[in-house]
Chains A and B, each alone.
Chain A
Amino acid sequence: MNTRDVPNDDTLRRAFTAPFRPAREGADCPPPETLWSSAREELVHRDDDEVLTHIGECGVCAAAWQVARDLAIDSAEQPAPVHVRSAAGWRWMAVAAAILVGLAVGVPMFMEMQESTAPVFRTAEGDWLQPTFDVNEPLARDRCMLRWASGPEGTTYHVRITSETLDLLAQGKWLQSAEFLVPASALEDLPDGARIFWQVSARLPDGRKVDSTTFISTIE
């Protein structure tokens, strides 16, 4: 008996992993890191069973799981990476070390590096966090008001604005209304037509944090 006895039906497989078959109403999709771990056989059987049972109901997570598996296979086929920090990495670390002079450098820095290896998956989706203005319309640098859809009462917002080169221009924290006026001084060095990237994080009253996608606006 060999695997050729099993029907190899691509149609079944493609239909199963089509990402337009969402989970049933109310079912919680596992976070990406759980799908990642399942695809890499890093979960104990009980947890893996839960993930696979959910995938049986949810084509979206089936598609996501398959992406993780493809990545794992791809990684396994590549030569093992040599763990040498890049020159740029060393430069960053050197600057970070300089900033930390005067503090207890050794242990905190080591802990920080350990933390930096943790995944950075987003905690939840924030599709409803959409701009409430036409982002295709240029914004005046002296009246650069960003507005977005409000969450439930009691929601607070963080917003982060960067230049195209990812320089942080401005940020608002613990905002109680769904808007932020970017200080003109933060935009004064940008040329006309420059694009800014901005992203909103909402802290919901129940403690959850949801992130928007990144929006792009043009400054004039």
Chain B
Amino acid sequence: MVREQRGGGDTMSRTSPTWAEVVSREDVEALRSRVVRAVRRACPAWLRNRAEDIVQNVLMQLLAKRCETNPSFSAIYLEKAAYGATVDEIRRLSRTKENPVANEELIEAAPASSADPERSASSLEIGEGIHECLAGLARPRRLAVTLWLLGCGVPEIARRRAWSFKRTHNLVYRGLDNLRACLLRKGLQP
């Protein structure tokens, strides 16, 4: 029986069924396995050392949800939960960057890193430079270049924005030219 305490006062017994009363140990283990699979898919390689924390956070959320409504969890539901917890972890990690230890850990883990610390530092500078230079681009070019930097190809950008292929190509190509010129003016050469 779960003990519930409200407002720092009374301790009382819950009358609604608990997780343990509703589902069997096998069910919990099955759910945990599904969550682990979902987190494996959602968690980028550079964040793998945090995967166990992410799994635990997802399970706690699901537990809270189940105790409220006894829902079943579809694959897409678990995938979204895993993604949300992964984003939380990325944000949490980025906010700890003032901590030198955490910062070192993040820089080592992040996708921009390399074995060469100078290259890592350079990548940080380039990231800052890109951010500043993007702000100076006209809106359509900025959107096109942003999507390209996120990994989208020209056909995908054209489809997303409902632009013609030719227009999209021009926006990306000229936008990248502008971006490189801006970075060079800042003394950055990717």
Could you tell me which A residues sit within 8 Å of B by CB distance? Answer: 1, 3, 5-7, 9, 11-22, 29, 32-33, 35-36, 41, 45, 48-49, 52-53, 55-57, 59-60, 62-71, 74-75, 81, 85-86, 88-89, 91-93, 95-96, 99, 112-113, 115-117, 119-122, 125, 127, 160, 162, 165-177, 180, 182-183, 185-186, 197, 199, 213-214, 216
0 or 1 for each of B57-77: is its CB under 8 Å from A? (1 = yes): 101111111010111111111
Evaluate whether A116 and B4 lie within 8 angstroms (CB atoms) in the complex, with A15-B126, A64-B87, A127-B92 already known. no
11 contacts between A and B (CB under 8 A): A6-B173, A14-B112, A17-B112, A20-B124, A45-B162, A69-B152, A81-B75, A91-B23, A171-B3, A173-B5, A197-B60
User: B166: which A residues are within 8 A, CB to CB?
Assistant: 1
What 5 pairs between A and B have smallest CB-CB spacing? Answer: A116-B71, A121-B84, A18-B112, A167-B20, A15-B126
User: B30: which A residues are within 8 A, CB to CB?
Assistant: 86, 88
B8: which of A35, A168, A176 is its contact (CB, 8 Å)?
A176
Cα A53 to Cα B138 with chains together (Å) = 12
Evaluate whether A41 and B160 lie within 8 angstroms (CB atoms) in the complex, with A11-B190, A67-B83, A169-B2 already known. yes
Query: Restricting to B119-154, which residues have a CB under 8 Å from any CB of A?
Result: 123-124, 126-128, 130-131, 134-135, 139, 142-143, 146-154
**Is B161 touching A170 in the complex (CB atoms < 8 A)?**
no
Q: For the complex, is B181 an interface residue (Cβ under 8 Å from A)?
A: no
**Is B106 touching A3 in the complex (CB atoms < 8 A)?**
no
Closest residue of chain B to A163 (Cβ to Cβ) is B20
**Is A113 touching B72 in the complex (CB atoms < 8 A)?**
yes
A174: which of B7, B139, B173 is its contact (CB, 8 Å)?
B7
**Is B127 touching A15 in the complex (CB atoms < 8 A)?**
yes
User: A16: which B residues are within 8 A, CB to CB?
Assistant: 127, 130, 149-150
How many contacting A-B pairs (Cβ < 8 A)? 283
**Is A13 touching B87 in the complex (CB atoms < 8 A)?**
no
Evaluate whether A160 and B64 lie within 8 angstroms (CB atoms) in the complex, with A11-B190, A15-B126 already known. yes
**Is B5 touching A180 in the complex (CB atoms < 8 A)?**
yes
**Is B123 touching A15 in the complex (CB atoms < 8 A)?**
yes
Evaluate whether A199 and B81 lie within 8 angstroms (CB atoms) in the complex, with A65-B150, A71-B42 already known. no
Closest residue of chain A to B107 (Cβ to Cβ) is A20
0 or 1 for each of B157-170: is its CB under 8 Å from A? (1 = yes): 00111100010010
**Is A96 touching B124 in the complex (CB atoms < 8 A)?**
no
**Is B2 touching A170 in the complex (CB atoms < 8 A)?**
yes
Give, as a whole number of angstroms, the nearest-CB distance from A47 to chain B.
Answer: 13
**Is B67 touching A168 in the complex (CB atoms < 8 A)?**
yes
Q: For the complex, is B172 an interface residue (Cβ under 8 Å from A)?
A: yes
A60: which of B81, B94, B111, B154 is its contact (CB, 8 Å)?
B94
A3: which of B64, B131, B153 is its contact (CB, 8 Å)?
B153
Cα A51 to Cα B133 with chains together (Å) = 18
User: A180: which B residues are within 8 A, CB to CB?
Assistant: 5
Evaluate whether A56 and B131 lie within 8 angstroms (CB atoms) in the complex, with A6-B172, A14-B123, A167-B19 already known. yes
A19: which of B59, B110, B160 is its contact (CB, 8 Å)?
B110
